[in-house]
Structure 1
Amino acid sequence: MNENNDTNNKQEKPPKAKGSANSSRLTLDIVDDGKNVKTPVRRVKPTVSVSKMQVTIPESGVKTKKIEERQPEKQEQKPAKETPAPTVKKPALPATRKKPAPKTKQAPASPTKKPVRKAPPKKKVVPPTIGKRKGYTPTVAYRLRFPIFLVAFLVCLFALFFAFHKGVGLLGSYSKPGKPLFAKDDRVEVTIEAGMSARSVSVLLKDLGIVDDPEGLLSYFVEQNLATTIRTGIFMMEKGMSFAAIGERLTLRTGELTIVVNPANTLATIDSFLDARGYARRGEFLKAAERLQNEHSLSFAEGWLLSGEYVVPQESAASSLAMAMFSAMLESTRAHLGSDKVAQWGLEQVLIIASMIQAETQNQSEMPFIASVIYNRLEAGEPLGIDATTRYELNDWKNPIPLEALETQTPYNTRRKVGLPPSGICCPSKAAVEAALSPLKTPYFYYLHGLDKQLHLATTYEGHKENIKAYR
């Protein structure tokens, strides 16, 4: 009886299985004739020294996690607590290795908090282009850019076309203005070295083409007692000079300069020459001419200075030359102050005409005829049509005059303006001044210089066109 009871007690409380993860009793449901009989299962001691077992631990509200535990090599058997054993329908199979599932972060659920709506993405604001904005008013230059470009393009085409066609004015084309100072074809640079005798100087001048008779020049040096006073240095001399001019040039006192201003040279040309030769600084001669204009209450300076040859001190070459040229003009006009043309037009207007005559021709025999044509057109109220005045305004005496300059209304454009320009346009010679003071009386209104280098006059425009066909 006691043994049976002990046996029954032992059967009711089986020993705790080794390696239990949740320390609970393991039982097996064995089917016997359709009845479930709970029979304790005795675990066999594992023979493997190290093993892994996969245990699933359920948690409330959390997904099942798989945990791998490493069992020790040996474990002591402890009496199992009296807890209900879980029901196992099938015998446990040996655990297979499985890769642990990647851990994912899951925010705790908040049932009371409302979901937050995401704000829609902001659209990028693109401003409208200039000219299409509301209330935008384009500038005048912006609106006229295409017409301005078209006009500039047409002007360039006209300029290129007329650049190769030399126009003929009402009075015909001008002749070349005065020769530049010390032009290469007329002026020669002469170097007199120390120890050269008067005979060797005469021979040198003969070789350079300045004189044709070296023996005659030597005789002049001896007769004038200049043979021993010839200076050394560099001298600018002209071909065909007289013996007296050569003697004066080579025997000047120290500190003096001889400057030759050719007819039709402008004040700007003279100023550039003095600067190039080192006689004065650039602009000094122009300032000297301006002082003369202010001191004598002149309307202009260009045209009041007479061309010619002048000897001036080297220390004050610019101011001395300007004063010498002005004094020479006053001296040349003094005898003609009572003439009819001065009484009718005034001295300054006559000097403007003289400068225009000088710019139109270098031939003294042609000057009275050109003066006659100018006065005839002035008295008839017709434009003079002398392109030399426009060239003076452009400061260009070589290239063809642009069509735009001839069509533009300016004070110096005598094609578009009736009357004289506001000032002279060059330094006239004595011959040009005399032609302006005493012109010939002719019926001519037109003239031109032909290819034969002769002056051709006409009374009417039809006759002028015939001269153009015949001589151009």
Structure 2
Amino acid sequence: MKVLLLKLSRNKFLVFIVGLFLFLGALVILLNVLLSSPVTPDKKKDIVLQIPSNTNADKIANMLYQQGLIKQPWIFSIYARYSGADSQLKAGEYILNNGQSIPEIVQTLIRGPLNVFSITIPEGYTVQQVADLLVKKGLTDSASFYETVAYEDFPYPFLRELAAGEHRLEGYLFPDTYHVGSNSDSKLIVDMMLKRFDGVINELNYVQKAEAMGLTLHEAVTIASMIEREAKYDSERSLIAGVIYNRLNLGMPLQIDATVQYALGTNRSKLYYKDLETESPYNTYKVNGLPPGPIASPGRASLIAAVNPQKTDYLYYVAKPDGTHIFAETLSEHNQNKMKYIR
């Protein structure tokens, strides 16, 4: 009997030991998964985080959790404590990404903050204007930026059909405010803008809306870019879109001044008759239909207007001194408006 009880006790002990090892093994696997798995591996987003002085690892963990950078604050705290990193985390301003794992975030916080620049790309900017702004801020040089725009590879479906060259990314560098680290290169900066464009068109279900209008994405963005350069007020964007579609449907040249400005490489508001004779596929006074591609970076409102044109009989419009437009259905009415408002 004693031998039997001893055997039973040993069996229970072995079962307990095996169970304990299995539990610990599962716990280790779970911790590794939680540590290495980013919050959103597919939809990555840069987030600026300001960590005040004398902030401990637990408070940093809560800040990261509130910003959607980690899944659970206690995992960060445990990792920082047992890796010995909790006393090495540095205060400052960081650009973090919800595609980073906890060890990657910890290493970033150990290295310390970089200089972070906030830069705003206005709606309606061309690639040239974006380049000039970045160079002025000291964030890149012209040669590197133009090389990146023309030939660098990026993993976005909307770029597959675009031919390499200086106009390739025109219209796709989404206008917004970006936070750029001092160690950023041209490719990283351009990628931020393309990623933002990709997020917006996915959010708007834009490819499907363009197809419903009988357009490719590139054609829709081209129309949106013209709307962006022509309209100063959101209330007029869909109406100008309606005029563009009316003229396209009738086979009329679009005669959009902004396309001539793009062909000339200038942003001057006043054009002369000789400018309208400029030989360029972007000159919609000389060429019927759409130009080969966008002429600027459209914002969200212009993108939406391009696939939601207002139904109208208007074929013409003229800019008034206050930036609004007066519209006309006939050429004679349009000529009267030009005499009244163009000086």
* Correspondence list, 1:324-343, <5 A: 324-334=192-202, 335-339=205-209, 343=213
Aligned to 1:352: 222
Give the superposition deviation at 1:316: 1.7
Cα distance, 1:342 vs structure 2: 5.2
Distance change in 2, residues 1:272/1:451 (3 Å):
closer
Q: Alpha-carbon deviation of 1:427? A: 1.1
Match for 2:320 among 450, 457, 462? 450
Residue 350 of structure 1 contacts residue 437 of structure 1 at CA under 8 Å; is this kept in 2? yes
Matched position secondary structure for 2:233: coil
Equivalent AA in structure 1 for residue 184 of structure 2 = S
Aligned equivalents of 2:269 and 2:318: distance in 1?
Answer: 18
Q: Comparing both structures, which one devotes a greater share of its residues to helix?
A: 2
Contact 1:353 1:424 in 2 (8 A): yes
Equivalences for residues 192-231 of structure 1 within 5 A: none
> How far has the Cα of 1:458 moved from its partner?
0.8
| CA spacing shift, 1:291–1:409, aligned 2, 3 Å | closer
1:380 and 1:341 map into 2 onto residues whose CA distance is 20
Q: Distance in 1 between matches of 2:153 and 2:274?
A: 32
Deviation at 1:452, TM superposition (A): 4.2
Give aligned pairs, total. 224
2:150 paired with 1:290: yes
Closer, same or farther: CA 341–436 of 1 in aligned 2, 3 Å: farther
Aligned to 2:34: none
CA contact (8 A) 1:373 1:442 kept: yes
Q: TM-score, normalised by structure 2?
A: 0.60
Is the 8 Å Cα contact of residues 274 and 318 (structure 1) preserved in structure 2?
no
Contact 1:306 1:428 in 2 (8 A): yes
SS of the counterpart of 2:179?
strand
SS of residue paired to 1:419: coil
CA deviation after TM superposition for structure 1 residue 358, in Å: 0.7
Alignment pair present for 1:306 and 2:174: yes
Q: Residue 385 of structure 1 corresponds to which residue in structure 2? A: 255
Alignment pair present for 1:421 and 2:294: no
1:77-112, Cα deviation, whole Å (9 max, x unpaired): xxxxxxxxxxxxxxxxxxxxxxxxxxxxxxxxxxxx
Alpha-carbon distance between aligned partners in 2 of 1:466 and 1:399, rounded to the nearest angstrom = 21
Secondary structure of residue in 1 paired with 2:260: helix
Alignment pair present for 1:465 and 2:335? yes
- Letter of the 2:242 counterpart: S
Structure 1 residues 309 and 466: alpha-carbon distance in aligned structure 2, compared to 1, 3 A threshold: same
Asked whether the 8 Å contact 2:226–2:295 carries over to 1, the reply is yes
For residue 88 of structure 2, what is the aligned residue in structure 1? Answer: none
**Matching residue of 1:263:** 123
Pairwise CA distance, 1:456: 0.7
- In structure 1, runs of 5+ residues without a counterpart are 1-228, 232-251
| CA distances 1:55-77 after superposition (whole Å, capped 9, x unpaired) | xxxxxxxxxxxxxxxxxxxxxxx
Structure 1 CA distance, aligned partners of 2:169 and 2:253? 24
Shift of 1:407: 1.9
Partners of 2:319 and 2:267 lie apart in 1 by: 16
**Rg larger in 1 or in 2?**
1
Q: Distance in 2 between matches of 1:361 and 1:265?
A: 14
Question: CA 1:431/1:253 → structure 2, altered by over 3 Å: closer, same or farther?
Answer: farther
CA shift, 1:467, in A, is 1.8
8 Å CA contact 1:341–1:438 kept in 2: the answer is no
Structure 2: tracts of 5 or more residues without a match: 1-90, 94-111
Q: Tell me the percent identity.
A: 30
Q: Name the residue aligned to 1:315.
A: 183
CA gap of 1:353–1:398, structure 2 versus 1, over 3 A, is same
Match in the other structure for 2:68: none
Shift of 1:400: 3.7
RMSD: 2.3
| Residues 1:387 and 1:461: Cα distance change in structure 2 (over 3 Å) | same
Determine helix, strand or coil for the equivalent of 1:311: strand
Q: 2:187 is aligned with what amino acid?
A: S
| Structure 2 residue aligned with 1:244 | none
Is the contact between residue 265 and residue 426 of structure 1 (CA under 8 Å) also seen in structure 2?
A: yes
Shift in CA distance, 319/446, structure 1 to aligned 2, threshold 3 Å: same
From the two aligned structures, give the one with the greater strand fraction.
1
Distance 1:291 1:340, change over 3 A: closer
CA 457–403 in structure 1, closer or farther in 2 if over 3 Å, else same: closer
One-letter amino acid of the counterpart of residue 288, structure 1:
T
Mapping of residues 48-447 of structure 1, within 5 Å: 253-292=113-152, 296-297=159-160, 298-299=162-163, 300-334=168-202, 335-339=205-209, 343-398=213-268, 400-447=270-317
User: Which aligned segments of 4 or more residues in structure 1 are displaced greater than 4 angstroms?
Assistant: 292-295, 340-343
Whether contact under 8 Å (2:224, 2:305) holds in the other structure is: yes
- Following superposition, the deviation at residue 399 of structure 1 comes to 6.2
C-alpha deviation, 1:350, in angstroms:
0.4
Q: Who is 1:139 aligned against? A: none
CA distance in 2, matches of 1:344, 1:360: 23
What is the CA–CA distance in structure 1 between the aligned matches of 2:124 and 2:328, rounded to whole Å?
A: 25
Q: 1:383 Cα deviation (Å)?
A: 0.1
Supply the distance in 1 between the matched residues of 2:232 and 2:287 (Cα, whole angstroms).
Answer: 25
CA contact (8 A) 1:306 1:328 kept: yes
Pick closer, same or farther for the CA change 1:377–1:399 going to 2, 3 Å.
Answer: closer
Following superposition, the deviation at residue 392 of structure 1 comes to 0.8
Q: For residue 385 of structure 1, report the CA deviation from its aligned partner.
A: 0.3
* Deviation for aligned residue 1:292: 4.9
- For 2:45, the equivalent position in structure 1 comes to none
The CA distance in 2 between the partners of 1:471 and 1:401, in whole Å, is: 15
Amino acid at match of 2:150: E
Letter in 2 for 1:326: L
On the 8 A contact 2:262/2:295 being kept in 1, the answer is yes
* d(CA) in 2 for partners of 1:253, 1:462: 63
Q: CA deviation at 1:284?
A: 2.1
